[in-house]
Structure 1
Amino acid sequence: MGKAKPRYCEICGAPIRGQGHKIRLEGAEVLVCNRCYEKYGGKKPGTFSIMPTGRQPVRRTYSRPSRPRPSRPRIERPLYTEEIVEDYAERVYRAIQRSGKSYEELSHEIGLSMNDLRAIA
């Protein structure tokens, strides 16, 4: 005889250990894990809905004060300037012609698709 098929909670999706619990929820009988049974099992039938009501539960979080991070020396990066040229497409086209390579070869070398390369030139 094979291993039993794992069962999952129909509310939270967690694997069910042991038998699980059947509860009545909005007119349907559902199989739930221990945690969801503790949370929803004691509710009167018809008074509970897992649908959101628009209100968010208040969660209290307590955190430790953060430690100050040691400051790192600022890395000076070189300033790059670029010149905008009117005849960019012509320059690219001429460079492609001078290379003597096909669009396919160039597209592999520079990492652009052939369509993008053709759109530029």
Structure 2
Amino acid sequence: MKHNIIHIVGASGAGTTTLGQALEKEYGYIWLNTDGYFWEQTDPPFARSLPHEERVKRLSAAIEEHPKCVISGSLCGWGDVFISLFDLVVFVDTPTDVRIERLQKREYERFGKRIRA
């Protein structure tokens, strides 16, 4: 099956998720966030990662189901098998001060007072 895959990468808070969601809405791609394939669903989130084989299996299945997709987030250390499928890789470069501001807001929304001292 022919794929049409865009991979969006950048430092945390750079805007990769926002760009992925925009491409989904504007151009009909299916947006896949690597966090959804890397982490187990826990409360609080991001407490336990899935085994390497499970991550690859789940993302492979999603790509087969949605061959026109945009993948946002890091695949470092586990996603090399997907590199040959990418038609385009976009690196989002955002100033550090902007990223820090975004991350503080996002983490407060996710974790609330648990992260405030």
TM-score of the superposed pair, with normalisation by structure 1: 0.17
Indicate the structure (1 or 2) with the bigger Cα radius of gyration. Answer: 1
Tell me which of the two structures has the higher relative contact order, counting C-alpha pairs closer than 8 angstroms and 6 or more residues apart: 2
Q: Which has the higher strand share?
A: 2
Q: Which has the higher helix share?
A: 2
TM-score of the superposed pair, with normalisation by structure 2: 0.18
